[in-house]
A and B are shown apart, each in its own frame.
Chain A
Amino acid sequence: MAFIGRSVPRLEDRPLVTGKGRFAADVSFPHQLHMRVVRSPQAHGRILAIGTSAALGLPGVVAVWTAGDVSDIPPIDFRMTKIEGLEPYRQHILATDHVRYVGEPVAVVFAEDPYIAEDAADLVEVGIEELPVITAADGPVGIFAGTASTEPAQVRKGYGDVEAAFKSATHVVELDLSTGRHSAVPMETRGALGRYDASKDVLEMYGAAKVPHWNRDQVARMLKRSPSQVHFYEGHVGGGFGVRGELYPEDVLVCAAALRLGRPVKWIEDRREHLIAANHSRQQRHKIRAAIDATGKIIGIENEFFHDQGAYVRTHAATVPDLSAAMVLGPYHVPHYRTLGHIRLTNKTPCGTYRAPGRFETTFVRERLMDAIAARVGITPVEARRRNLIGKDEMPFERPIDALGTHVVYDSGDYAGLLDKSLRKVGWDELQMSIEARRAAGELVGAGIGMFVEKSGLGPYDGVKIAVDVGGKVEVITGAASVGQGVETVIAQICADTLGVDYTAVRVVHGQTDRIDNGMGAFASRVTAMTGEATRIAALKVKAKALDMAADLMQAAAADLEIVDGRVTAASGAKASIALGDVARHLLPVSRTRGEREPGLSAEGWFFSDHMNYPYGVHVAVVRIDAETGDVAIEKYLVAYDVGRAINPMLVEGQIVGGFAQGLGGAMFEELSYDERGEPLSVTFADYLIPTAHEVPSIDVLVTEDAPSPLNHLGVKGAGEGGTNAVGAAIAAAIDDALGLPGAVTQLPITPDRVKQMVVRRADFAASGIVQKPLS
């Protein structure tokens, strides 16, 4: 029975619906201490003094640390996309001399009880001399420290002759667009528990996620231990989305404290802390210009953007601006291109990645540009896109730029084909007619589209170990991580089909650094492509081993045998068969039947890949605006996404719908705003508005498999980020269309007050007699 391609139920679910999950806060050890972080109340200042005596005097308090207590521990290093000049901007685990954002850890309290730790944290007196605050990334460059400016580096990419392109242009279209600061905000806050097992001389960390192996190596380095003396354990993770699982100061602090205090140390973040301390994302301003010919074909694009990095450069280094610069061109022909990205430090929470990083932002920018091109030359937005799309027959399509250190080569795709399918699915032509009729009746209703190219399957490697035990159960051990997306099920499906067992016989172990030496984790929509392929390779080896052993036992040629539902049987249909568990028994080290074969029905599989692969999609939105309140109702929404091959279509759709809801939050509701003194204004769920069941509409999903990736055997591309990617773009276009004001939306999130302002502008236009031709 084939499991790949089927929507089988998830292996993960039963413990999670019965309250048997094991999330970070669910882990406890006897005699553990509780850590509470004292955070800076100021956005920028010089630390004058930190008074700890009152806190230390509270019964139950064991220790209070400030920067001086951890001065031997280096700052947290970059995991990805290192570029020159960023090192001085790394964050220390406790603030040294200066604080640079509200929420920066300045001290930590360790106590017998979490309530006491919190009491004691309130007693720590932090004296700070306030310094001028920078909250805008697009203003003048300031001073970070000493001679270091607030613009540590620039990202430059491009090719061709941009000057010539603009000289030859019939029109130049110019836009100034911004995306708002928001973030993943998973339902589980961060948590970490450090424990030193002196009996084994091993430092353990529970609460790992996303990239346990890299984090293990860093903690080992920072605390001067060998990686094999440090184990990271990933339990259940309550949502990742890019934010959870990066190495943060608190992770290092619990590990250091476990070593130095000799007791397990537990830290569980509260929601306010999460909203000011975990990575923010997305805040960028783009000044983009397109040189186009009379027909709306792009000749060249020039873009200058400002990336608000927040107060420090964390593990992602230049990842988000790098992707912004590399992915802004999307599915279109752009003969000449040049971009300049300013990485800017501000006195706000440091930033990292969030689902579709650099793409949610730049898809908004690029698709706004496509709509503006359409308006300029007087063609429909659909036609403007069609005239510029890269063709199916041009695949693989090479862009002479890099993304995340890999050469950008769109591996496969039929962009126009998916656009056609999407328009057919929503009944675009009839939709235009009904919109026209409703507008004539006075309704503010409109439709918009957003197209994009995603990226996934980031290498460079993945390795998997598979072993079949004598009971016939299959264990897959991977260095990938699970953040709730369904890794166990999907990997089990791939293993099951390759090996010839039921997927429920496969147990997938992930995120345990003591079970496998190497692992890349879960990010960049990489797991199904990379870990999936490594799994297939390992399973093929196990299968060959099983057939070789069984051939002896069954006195048949291995080539005449197959494995069906966990039993080796003759392909001819002869009755005799042997269970995989029995084959494993024959391969035990003590087995006499084993012969000269390597003991164990097990194998390792490795997969290497130098290139990412590139899924692609189309979003279509239909909205109705309430002119009185500025409320935007989403009447219809389609996400069409080509994932090459869907291992489990139900999970792919789940990723798309969930991703859409997050995109919707960033497009319309969620904003991490600050006042002019750098005081964060979104610190609870009452002021940071995550969409609820009321706000998220039922959407249509079209998953296609038209363009399998040639870069892995199964043809898989990542499914995790396409639902999020173009939500801001499509809704912005639909709102423009509803208002009949092309280019009205220049900023995300499009909150009701901003919509209301546009409605007023529209009325002003009407009063002035300027006719706005609605686009369709």
Chain B
Amino acid sequence: MSAKKNITLNINGVDHHVQVEPRRTLVDAIRDECGQTGTHIGCEHGVCGACTIMLDGKPVRSCLMFAVQADGARLRTVEGLADGDRLHPLQQSFIDHHGLQCGFCTPGFLMLTAGVLEQEPDISDEGLIDALSSNLCRCTGYQNIIKAVLAAAADMRAAR
């Protein structure tokens, strides 16, 4: 244990001024200090991707970072994906294509693909599926996740 540090986590445009130990992981701070429990913890060693969020526009594993490392950064979590009541195309597409069952891995998949598509809007289908293979899902067998993501990516491109 060591002394707590004052940091500011900007999550979905809202500043959260929190005190955390330097060893506290970012995902724990997001969930416990900031109350944003949509980001999930599945393995705490960076494999499953349930904790994926966007940090300054890039998808990252929030279990592999300390909260103090995100001080001042712009974080985006699943709670910030929809525009008010209007779902993000990926969220709608996951519903339309039955891309989720238990829904535990879903926020991670949504933030991963949202991040990839923001960084690389014209990514190939193969590139997207390759990106999807970095997260784990135990319910769907991935086929409907792939369908959902490819359909949403096509819609997002068409809407540009």
Contact = CB atoms under 8 A, between A and B. Distances in A.
Interface stretch (A16-24, A174-182, A443-451): A16-24
Interface string A102-137: 000000000000111001000000000000000000
Interface in A657-692: 657-662, 684-686, 690, 692
B26 interface: no
Given A115-B24, A654-B140, A693-B145, A18 B104 contact: no
Given A184-B138, A239-B104, A271-B45, 11 more contacts: A9-B96, A10-B95, A17-B78, A18-B79, A18-B87, A28-B32, A116-B1, A239-B101, A657-B141, A658-B141, A686-B45
- Give the interface size class of chain B: 35 or more
B43 interface: yes
A203 interface: no
B103 A12 contact: yes
Interface in B12-36: 21, 23-24, 28, 31-32, 36
Q: Which 9 A-B pairs have the closest CB atoms?
A: A19-B38, A484-B102, A16-B103, A238-B104, A661-B141, A685-B47, A19-B78, A26-B37, A657-B141
Contacts of B129: 693-694
B98 A484 contact: no
Interface centre among B39, B98, B141 (most CB of A within 10 A): B141
A186 interface: yes
Contacts of B10: none
Interface centre among B21, B28, B101 (most CB of A within 10 A): B101
B41 interface: yes
A188 B110 CA distance: 17
Contact of A662 (B41, B79, B138): B138
Interface in B115-160: 129-130, 132-146
Contact of A13 (B32, B50, B100, B141): B100
A684 B45 contact: yes
5 contacts: A16-B100, A20-B38, A187-B42, A651-B98, A658-B101
Contact of B94 (A17, A657, A694): A17
Contact of A690 (B38, B77, B136): B136
A249 interface: no
A653 to B, nearest CB: 8
A698 B136 CA distance: 16
B44 interface: yes
Given A19-B39, A19-B77, A484 B139 contact: yes
Interface centre among B39, B102, B132, B137 (most CB of A within 10 A): B102
B42 A188 contact: yes
A661 B142 contact: yes
A480 B137 CA distance: 24
Contact of A696 (B44, B102, B141): B141
Given A693-B145, A696-B141, A236 B102 contact: yes
Nearest to B90: A17
A25 interface: yes
B37 A13 contact: no
Contacts of A650: 98
Contacts of B94: 13, 17
B54 to A, nearest CB: 13
B40 interface: yes
Contacts of A116: 1
A14 interface: yes
A17 B98 contact: no
Contacts of A184: 138
A237 interface: yes
Contacts of A188: 40, 42, 102, 104
Nearest to B38: A19
Given A116-B1, A186-B102, A685 B38 contact: no
Contact of A23 (B28, B40, B48, B91): B40
Interface string A247-262: 0000000000000000
The SS class assigned to the A binding surface is loop
B98 A271 contact: no
Contacts of B140: 654, 657-658, 661
A483 interface: yes
B76 to A, nearest CB: 11
Given A18-B91, A19-B78, A657-B144, A13 B103 contact: yes
Contacts of B102: 186-188, 236-240, 483-485
B149 to A, nearest CB: 10
Contact of A115 (B23, B39, B40): B23
B55 interface: no
A268 to B, nearest CB: 8
Nearest to B93: A17
Given A239-B139, A271-B45, A690-B136, A17 B101 contact: no
B105 interface: yes
A23 B104 CA distance: 8
A270 B45 CA distance: 10
A301 to B, nearest CB: 33
Given A18-B82, A18-B91, A685 B48 contact: yes
Contact of A16 (B36, B106, B145): B106
B132 A19 contact: no
Given A115-B24, A685-B43, A241 B87 contact: no
Contacts of B47: 684-686
B4 to A, nearest CB: 11
A186 B28 CA distance: 20
Contact of B101 (A115, A485, A696, A699): A485
Contacts of B23: 115
A737 B77 CA distance: 49
A189 B40 CA distance: 11
B107 interface: yes
B97 to A, nearest CB: 9
A94 interface: no
A187 B50 contact: yes
B82 to A, nearest CB: 6
B36 A19 contact: yes
A17 B103 contact: yes
B140 to A, nearest CB: 5
A271 B42 contact: yes
Nearest to A664: B141
Nearest to A665: B138
A185 interface: yes
A14 B95 contact: yes
A606 B104 CA distance: 32
A75 interface: no
Contact of B42 (A19, A189, A699): A189
B81 interface: yes
A486 interface: yes
A678 B41 CA distance: 28
A484 B105 CA distance: 12
A19 B79 contact: yes
Given A684-B47, A685-B47, A187 B104 contact: yes
A658 B143 CA distance: 9
Contacts of B32: 28
A694 B23 CA distance: 34
Contact of A17 (B24, B48, B110, B134): B110
Interface string A462-495: 0000000000000000000001111000000000
A9 B79 contact: no
Contacts of A658: 101, 138-141
A26 B103 CA distance: 14
Contacts of A21: 38, 103-104
A19 B95 contact: no
Contacts of A10: 95, 98
